[in-house]
Amino acid sequence: MSAPAPERRPALLTVDDDPAVSRAVARDLRRHYGDRYRVVRAESGRAALEALREMKLRGDEVAVLLADHRMPQMSGIEFLEQAMDVYPAARRVLLTAYADTGAAIDAINLVDLDHYLLKPWDPPEEKLYPVLDGLLRAWQHEDRRPVAGTRVVGARWSARSSEIRDFLARNQVPYRFHLSDSPEGERLLAAAGADPLALPLVVTPDGTALLAPTDAELADRTGVPTTPETDFYDLIVVGGGPAGLGAAVYGASEGLRTILVERTATGGQAGTSSRIENYLGFPDGVSGAQLADRARRQAVKFGAELVTTRDVVGLEVAGSARRVHFADGSSLDAHAVVLATGVSYRQLAAEGIDALTGRGVFYGLAQSEASSCAAQDVYVVGGANSAGQAAVHLARSARSVTLLIRGESLEASMSHYLIEQLAALDNVSVRPCTQVSAVHGEEHLERLTLTHVSGTTETVDASWLFVFIGAAPRTDWLDGVVARDRLGFVLAGPDLVVEAGGWTTERPPYHLESSVPGVFVAGDVRADSAKRVAAAVGEGAMAVMLVHRYLESS
């Protein structure tokens, strides 16, 4: 792993059209402040503004602006006026001759001038440094939160903005979100020269501005690995949920050249869980994001490669190798493959839901949105553990949480410990035999139409709806290659023997081996799997053991 970039020092920017004066000011500043501040010098107002915009995009801080009053094309006062829009917290100083003191005094109100200095400022120990020392102390004592490495500018109810924020959060990329109509959002848009209609804008740590980037572009510019280092491996793991991470950890730790390919972010559905309390070894519980991050770091420590934004669309037997095909037309070969693609939430069949997905309607518990539900009424659809965990988490800050379930009670689908936790929360209620039949809203979710099994309907006000309604394997890309059951889950081991034509090789299939020798399956995507995090991790580890047997017998 590369060493972290050194922390950038705040800047002192000086602008003067006289090169000799410009160099003299910069020299005096560096001599006294160079160990704590970075001195930036410009010889015109336009050049200084361009430098400020570049620093803004990089997330640099600017403490003081010193501008000469008499400059062609753009006076010092005009420069400071425009610079205020980029760095409103920077202290502003005007360098002026005695004859211009009247203009300097007038500028105190125009550009909120902090001080004006008369030329010459010699000796600086008496006339320059005491002034700047006071301004810097005032600047340092302001409440200036540290700037996150990546910044996102978008509309509040933008589906793509929400997707980008969730992508960054799940890939452990620190970021800060600014509304497009907020002062800082407007400053970033202006610095990038971006059209507000082309949002969202993502500004990376190196100052690159990306307008409405794809996930692949986002990953590439924020340091998330996207490209395999070679074209052949011992083991390809498809999917980065608990089963895939388990396979990657055990594969790499046992000496196999292992690569894990993931479409969005490691963790899978479990990675979005607010709290997993029945996972072995974590008596106080652990969030899905924490568990996924630890597993990811563990896999990397053992030498596994992890690449994301790789959408696998095909599987092929290529002689003794097993080949996976990606949506971009590339492919990757290995001796063996572990399918650990997990499952996806089924789509809610409610009128109007597509237009409001990402605008108040979310599948799973979107990490970037959950914190926005404080003191509001929230609805959760689903009766399994994932819905229960989300309801408990949301209840900590929401005014109310209503759990909508199709069945008569939670006992048939949810763990007992979660049912007890929900019953103990005063602001959580369960509405049985109830479904969402329609969602309503213009720019964002505003109301829900609820339908009871009896046929009665009710419309309720709602700004937030989180959906957890069962799992679909999304394995159409394996059609005609790997045997699956009628729901699309991958058949493996003994199930293949029962299925006529499911296994054609002379030896019997290994326990987690699919109908294609050398292709194994682990976790929720396997037919009749336990659908539990611990079981998925265990199957990932077991699949690697069976990969070794396959390689030894091949």
CATH number, domain of 211, equals 3.40.30.10
Whether residues 103 and 154 share a domain: the answer is no
Is 529 inside any structural domain?
Answer: yes
DSSP-assigned letter for residue 515: S
Higher pLDDT: 93 or 542? It is 542
The region of weakest confidence among 165-174, 247-256, 294-303 is 165-174
d(CA 393, CA 150): 27
Whether residues 155 and 133 share a domain: the answer is no
Rounded to a whole number of angstroms, the CA Rg of the chain reads: 29
> Average pLDDT in the 14-31 region?
92
The region of weakest confidence among 376-380, 498-502, 521-525, 545-549 is 498-502
Which tokens hold the place of 171?
A: 């890939």
Whether residues 462 and 417 share a domain: the answer is yes
* pLDDT digit string, tens, across residues 314-363: 999 999 999 999 999 999 999 999 999 999 888 999 999 999 999 999 99
> Average pLDDT in the 57-70 region?
91
Indicate whether 304 pLDDT > 70. Answer: yes
Indicate whether 426 pLDDT > 60. Answer: yes
pLDDT given at position 102: 65
Sign of CA dihedral 207, 210, 215, 220: negative
| Residue 509 neighbours by CB under 8 Å, 6+ apart | 492, 493, 494, 496, 497, 503, 515, 517
Which tokens hold the place of 483?
A: 């045997």
Question: What φ, ψ does residue 18 adopt, rounded to 5°?
Answer: -90, 110
Whether residues 106 and 203 share a domain: the answer is no
Whether residues 24 and 98 share a domain: the answer is yes
Whether residues 211 and 159 share a domain: the answer is yes
Indicate whether 540 pLDDT > 80. Answer: yes
Q: What domain range includes position 291? A: 232-343+473-553
pLDDT confidence bin for 2, thresholds 50/70/90? very low
**Closest CA relative to residue 299, chosen from 249, 353, 257, 370:** 249
Q: What's the distance, CA 24 to chain centroid?
A: 46
Indicate whether 129 pLDDT > 60. Answer: yes
Which tokens hold the place of 32?
A: 């006294």
Long-range CB pairs of 369-375 (<8 Å, 24+ gap) are 369/162, 369/165, 369/166, 369/464, 370/274, 370/394, 371/397, 372/464, 373/397, 373/398, 373/464, 374/398, 375/399
pLDDT confidence bin for 364, thresholds 50/70/90? confident
Among 470, 502, 532, which residue terminates a domain?
470
Identity at 387, one-letter amino acid code: A
Q: How far is CA 3 from CA 6, 390, 458, in A?
A: 9, 36, 57
Whether residues 66 and 82 share a domain: the answer is yes
C-alpha angle 17/23/29, rounded to 5°?
115
Indicate whether 28 pLDDT > 60. Answer: yes
DSSP-assigned letter for residue 468: -
> Average pLDDT in the 29-54 region?
94
pLDDT given at position 3: 44
pLDDT given at position 148: 53
d(CA 80, CA 96): 14
pLDDT confidence bin for 29, thresholds 50/70/90? very high
> Average pLDDT in the 419-445 region?
96
DSSP-assigned letter for residue 463: S
The region of weakest confidence among 70-79, 108-117, 457-466 is 108-117
pLDDT given at position 220: 92
What would you measure as the largest C-alpha separation in the chain, in angstroms? 100
Whether residues 455 and 481 share a domain: the answer is no
Question: What φ, ψ does residue 387 adopt, rounded to 5°?
Answer: -70, -40
Is 2 inside any structural domain?
Answer: no
* pLDDT digit string, tens, across residues 195-225: 888 899 999 988 899 999 999 999 999 989 9
Q: Look at the chain and report how many structural domains it folds into.
A: 4
Is 93 inside any structural domain?
Answer: yes
pLDDT given at position 460: 96
Q: Which residue do the tokens 């410990």 mark? A: 417
Q: What's the distance, CA 247 to chain centroid?
A: 24
Among 140, 170, 197, which residue terminates a domain?
140
Whether residues 460 and 358 share a domain: the answer is yes
**Closest CA relative to residue 235, chosen from 334, 324, 317, 323:** 334
> Average pLDDT in the 507-515 region?
94
Among 170, 202, 222, which residue terminates a domain?
222
pTM of the complete model beyond 0.85? no
* pLDDT > 90: percent of the chain: 65
Is 380 inside any structural domain?
Answer: yes
CATH number, domain of 87, equals 3.40.50.2300
Is 5 inside any structural domain?
Answer: no
pLDDT confidence bin for 101, thresholds 50/70/90? low
> Average pLDDT in the 123-152 region?
81
Question: Is the CB of residue 92 less than 8 Å from the CB of residue 112?
Answer: yes
In what side-by-side order are the strands of the sheet with 38-42? Answer: 38-42, 11-15, 62-68, 91-96, 115-118
> Average pLDDT in the 395-414 region?
93
d(CA 381, CA 465): 7
Indicate whether 261 pLDDT > 60. Answer: yes
3-state secondary structure of 412: coil
Whether residues 302 and 260 share a domain: the answer is yes
Please give the mean pLDDT across all residues of the chain.
Answer: 90
Is 279 inside any structural domain?
Answer: yes
**Closest CA relative to residue 53, chosen from 112, 13, 110:** 13
The region of weakest confidence among 107-111, 279-283, 509-513 is 107-111
CATH number, domain of 526, equals 3.50.50.60
pLDDT given at position 230: 96
Whether residues 490 and 407 share a domain: the answer is no
d(CA 553, CA 433): 53
> Average pLDDT in the 111-137 region?
86
Indicate whether 278 pLDDT > 90. Answer: no
Indicate whether 111 pLDDT > 80. Answer: no
Indicate whether 164 pLDDT > 90. Answer: yes
d(CA 150, CA 222): 8
pLDDT confidence bin for 100, thresholds 50/70/90? low
Is 348 inside any structural domain?
Answer: no
Whether residues 20 and 133 share a domain: the answer is yes
Is 6 inside any structural domain?
Answer: no
pLDDT confidence bin for 147, thresholds 50/70/90? low
**What pairs with residue 203 in β-bridges?**
151, 209
Q: What's the distance, CA 31 to chain centroid?
A: 42
Question: Is the CB of residue 90 less than 8 Å from the CB of residue 142?
Answer: no
> Average pLDDT in the 25-53 region?
94
Which tokens hold the place of 303?
A: 């030498």
